[in-house]
A = this chain, B = another copy of it.
Amino acid sequence: MFFASDNWAGAHAAINDRLSRESTRFAAAYGNSDLDKAVEARFNEIFEREVSVYFVSTGTAANSLSLASIARIGGLVLAHSEAHVIEDECGAPDFLSGMRMTPVAGDNGKIDPAALKAAIARYPQDAVHHGRSAAVTITQATETGTIYSLDEIDAISKIAKENGLPLHMDGARFGNALVSLGCSPAEMTWKRGVDVLSFGGTKNGCWCAEAIVFFNPEMAKEFAFIRKRAAQLFSKTRFISAQFEAYLQDGLWLKLAGHANAMADRLRAGIGASNSARLAWSTTSNEVFAILNKAAAASAEEQGAKFYDWLVPLKLDGMVRSDERLIRLVTSFATTEEDVDQFLSICASV
């Protein structure tokens, strides 16, 4: 019952096998091997256009260096107030991009278009004192388990574009969002105006595979230097490529994300029907936020369930009673039906 995070899972067997095969040969370092080139080309196929792809070590690096690549002096990055870049990356995006992450309000973990407009109006392009809006970033799926619809991405994108601002998407759980929406990678990104994407593979079956995808290769022209200066250029880059090759082959990544989402659906259904637990809010990704009575939560923990209390300062308006806990449950490619059912049965039994 490992629901603490999808990064508690290991690596999928197919990805591990591909890594093993890679280990036995020599090849050029620093991303110059045949495999690296092949995987870069594979990304073009996945996104149905020419893209520029760069690997980095962590999701935080992907976000931070994406933003560094579109940085402006005195720039402000407009992000949802609960976004990972604001709440969970220890200031790395600010440090590595030289810009301040600036909170924008919005319900359900999504930027509110009106609030975004107001922020851009407050920080216009000539605002030497206030600072200037320099980029918009959205998280798909969001930190609260919700997913921007294509229309919602459009709405944000339109505002960004009207104001000349590049749009970044934090796709640490890109696969989960994609499967949930049932659209293509292109439809969820550049066809909606996304310029730069943090494309995460680690949470969905790789052990370390994070890519930055530039939909406008021009935007990437300084990136090799940005990455190296940030100490993020792997010498044996092809071991990242190997993971991505297996990940993207025959739709494995979508199957893994689909499984994770299905396990979350199973949790949602069970919790929705439970007497000792209820859903805190509606989610459609592999994250479930539940309110459990404390006895049920404690019982689950005693029997080995792993999960975190959710402490992000949401305005919960008395949603959680004093004998309850708000917890986050995250499923992954490795979550089993048995784990889910065991958890639900504990909830049901308290």
- Given A24-B10, A92-B231, A231-B64, verify A236-B57 contact (CB < 8 Å): no
- Is the CB–CB distance between A98 and B95 below 8 Å? yes
- Is the CB–CB distance between B26 and A73 below 8 Å? no
Q: List 8 A-B contacts (CB under 8 A).
A: A5-B29, A10-B22, A16-B20, A56-B231, A91-B100, A92-B231, A128-B233, A132-B225
- Is the CB–CB distance between B229 and A73 below 8 Å? yes
The chain B residue with its CB closest to the CB of A334 is: B26
- Is the CB–CB distance between A90 and B19 below 8 Å? no
Tell me if A224 counts as interface (CB < 8 A to partner B). Answer: yes
- Is the CB–CB distance between B235 and A202 below 8 Å? yes
Could you give, for residues 1-17 of chain A, a 1 whenever the CB lies within 8 Å of some chain B CB and a 0 otherwise?
01011011111110110
Please tell me which one of the listed residues B61, B74, B224, B311 contacts residue A91 in the complex, with CB atoms under 8 A apart.
B74
Inter-chain contacts of A7 with B (CB < 8 A):
29-30, 235-236
A187: shortest Cβ distance to chain B, in Å?
A: 28
Known: A74-B229, A118-B313, A231-B232; 11 extra A-B contacts, CB below 8 A, are: A7-B29, A12-B23, A19-B207, A57-B57, A58-B231, A60-B233, A72-B222, A90-B229, A128-B225, A132-B225, A230-B230
- Is the CB–CB distance between B239 and A207 below 8 Å? yes
A58: shortest Cβ distance to chain B, in Å?
A: 5
Tell me if A193 counts as interface (CB < 8 A to partner B). Answer: no
- Given A26-B8, A311-B122, A334-B26, verify A90-B228 contact (CB < 8 Å): yes
User: Which residues 299-350 of A have a CB within 8 angstroms of B?
Assistant: 306, 311, 313, 334
- Given A29-B8, A74-B228, verify A90-B234 contact (CB < 8 Å): no
Please tell me which one of the listed residues B24, B29, B222 contacts residue A73 in the complex, with CB atoms under 8 A apart.
B222
Tell me if A88 counts as interface (CB < 8 A to partner B). Answer: yes
Tell me if A40 counts as interface (CB < 8 A to partner B). Answer: no
- Is the CB–CB distance between A57 and B229 below 8 Å? no
